[in-house]
Structure 1
């Protein structure tokens, strides 16, 4: 890409060759030539940008989505983290306490979560568990167990809240690089209506499907099992039925297709962090927990769980000087039938 000054010098040189005399820097002609050079440089920038958007290898944003649409691929939308909120009282009540749908609790960092149905803390009991989700979509909603402790919209009579298990499944909208990889993969693994790429691509077109792995001859000749996962884990029955109905309509003749949920396997993660003498361990711990929870999602179905990848993720967290992964102690092989989900997550300070 030529700079404005380079184009200006070329214009001056061309003028000198044709006229036999040059133009002084401060003269009117020089000013005009410099203005022309600036416009030519802007046109070259525009032409270069248009060229980049013309190919999926370099396109960005909405233009990359247009290339994806030509391959029948859409950008995966952001999803909300889901989990369970546990509401509590200090003394067992003599009558039922209502917990309305939409009751809000927060982490100390201000991330908000709301209940997705109404519930009751029964008389004579101290706690009630209620399904909930993050108020905002994205990986920021992934929260470690016991990290949600603030009642934002307090149901009458309720004095405490927490989350006995991690909130997971929150994922940011698919990045350009991830979408680009899927688009380019669709050229390398051309779906032909009968291969694994065809079944996986069709499954991934359904909203909520974060990963899909097709296994041929799973139950003998002429059979195909397609395992799918949501970002939050195994799919629900409704999603399984929708994907299977779609694939049944599109499968090749005489092929028996089944869409199945993988078996969930909880993976406990224990990490020690060194944040240095002046580091804020609480802040770094929270960021590390969020990064780990955002990584270990349903998108990893069929892919190996590599300690090297986990280590890279932890070391990329701002403030981490060093780390030590205590568990898992070894890599986990990827499998279409097994989905690793986050179990107990413990992040402690190294040397404490």
Structure 2
């Protein structure tokens, strides 16, 4: 029989009844009587203890545990929560040819995020590329191409404004939900000396990695193929890792995988665009379209995997969740990925995108 936490009035009532039952002549039902006050004070303390025990019961296991308890589980199982990473990338700076822009020169965005140059650079007659690193860890340091940066401390013969080529690689500290998934994955799949879930857990332990797909023997007997996504780290690249990311993951996996594996392949997925076509949307507004796009992106984040067909019913359910009472007609069917390594994407750059007509 499940335990039900009694309410404070229930505890008070039980306390008065116990006094009447076990202390002859006691009557704690009289308002403002000293015995009534003492009884209710005792009941209040008992109720706090009951609430504390209920809180402990909720946090003992990681499926419902709060942040500090999750951190304890993570420290015990695999060393702790993944830390935030620092964004870095390239900007272009203009100025007088031959002028030195020294390493460590500070820059900032309009919202106060600080960056600094990574090395000494002599400017050329054209816009000069300069490597920069964000001084604040997390996704907040990522900047799209064309975003402006300002040089915080004036340098003679150097323009105060710089332009971002691309700054990415920043990911926030691992969230409670993501950490909970890793903890439960570890509990449900204890180490097995190199099975598919071992590779999944090893790869997920790396900063910035958010989803992993492992394909044993895809490249032949004794081989393992690993694909992964970096949903924050590479948000500007549709979550797909760069070749440098793949090399870093490969280098780490080589330190933990069994030596008996014939060969290990760490490769990015192949983006394949899907283009849902929505007709007769009854509430066709810009905000509704954005909500539908966000819902479809969320569905892909949950269900998309290399080679996984994206079924029309999944698309319809996501649109319905976003559209609410609005009506629509979905005239596209299932989207089958063309290869085992293909990953569904809504980005128009990959031949996808939503068509509202």
Whether TM-score is above 0.5 comes out as: yes
Q: Residues 247-286 of structure 1: matches in 2 within 5 Å?
A: 247=256, 250-251=257-258, 253=260, 255-262=261-268, 274=286
CA RMSD of aligned residues (A): 4.3
* Alignment partner of 2:86 out of 74, 80, 83: 80
* Alignment partner of 2:7 out of 3, 22, 31: 3
Aligned to 1:162: 163
Deviation at 1:57, TM superposition (A): 0.9
With over 3 angstroms needed to count, the CA separation of the structure-2 counterparts of 1:202 and 1:164, relative to structure 1, is closer
TM-score by length of 2: 0.67
With over 3 angstroms needed to count, the CA separation of the structure-2 counterparts of 1:308 and 1:136, relative to structure 1, is farther
Deviation at 1:37, TM superposition (A): 1.5
Deviation at 1:221, TM superposition (A): 0.8
* Structure 2 residue matching 1:87: 3-state secondary structure: strand
* Structure 2 residue matching 1:35: 3-state secondary structure: helix
Aligned to 1:153: 153
Bigger RCO (CA 8 Å, 6+ sep): 1
Aligned to 1:62: 68
Describe the superposition over 1:72-128 as per-residue Cα deviations: whole angstroms up to 9, x where unpaired: 363221122332211123xxx2x4122222323333222333222332212x33x11
Aligned to 2:221: 221
With over 3 angstroms needed to count, the CA separation of the structure-2 counterparts of 1:332 and 1:35, relative to structure 1, is farther
With over 3 angstroms needed to count, the CA separation of the structure-2 counterparts of 1:214 and 1:301, relative to structure 1, is same
Aligned to 1:15: 19
* Alignment partner of 1:97 out of 96, 99, 118: 99
Whole-angstrom CA distance in 2 between matches of 1:242 and 1:175: 25
Unaligned stretches of 5+ residues in structure 2: 235-240, 274-283, 291-299, 323-333, 350-357
> Contact between 1:71 and 1:183, CA under 8 Å: does it hold in 2?
yes
* Structure 1 residue matching 2:263: 3-state secondary structure: strand
* Structure 1 residue matching 2:179: 3-state secondary structure: helix
Aligned to 1:291: none
Q: Residues 121-160 of structure 1: matches in 2 within 5 Å?
A: 121-122=123-124, 124-125=125-126, 127-159=127-159, 160=161
* Structure 2 residue matching 1:84: 3-state secondary structure: strand
> Contact between 1:113 and 1:134, CA under 8 Å: does it hold in 2?
yes
Aligned to 1:193: 193
* Structure 2 residue matching 1:132: 3-state secondary structure: strand
The aligned length equals 301
Deviation at 1:21, TM superposition (A): 4.3
> Contact between 1:243 and 1:259, CA under 8 Å: does it hold in 2?
no
Unaligned stretches of 5+ residues in structure 1: 277-284, 286-295, 316-329, 345-352
> Contact between 1:229 and 1:235, CA under 8 Å: does it hold in 2?
no
> Contact between 2:214 and 2:225, CA under 8 Å: does it hold in 1?
yes
Q: Residues 246-325 of structure 1: matches in 2 within 5 Å?
A: 246-247=255-256, 250-251=257-258, 253=260, 255-262=261-268, 274=286, 302=306
Whole-angstrom CA distance in 2 between matches of 1:173 and 1:6: 43
Whole-angstrom CA distance in 1 between matches of 2:348 and 2:270: 10
With over 3 angstroms needed to count, the CA separation of the structure-2 counterparts of 1:152 and 1:201, relative to structure 1, is same
* Alignment partner of 1:242 out of 233, 248, 251: 251
Deviation at 1:214, TM superposition (A): 2.4
Deviation at 1:218, TM superposition (A): 2.8
With over 3 angstroms needed to count, the CA separation of the structure-2 counterparts of 1:193 and 1:238, relative to structure 1, is same
> Contact between 1:262 and 1:339, CA under 8 Å: does it hold in 2?
no
> Contact between 1:302 and 1:336, CA under 8 Å: does it hold in 2?
yes
Deviation at 1:38, TM superposition (A): 1.7
Whole-angstrom CA distance in 2 between matches of 1:171 and 1:121: 31
Whole-angstrom CA distance in 1 between matches of 2:92 and 2:142: 16
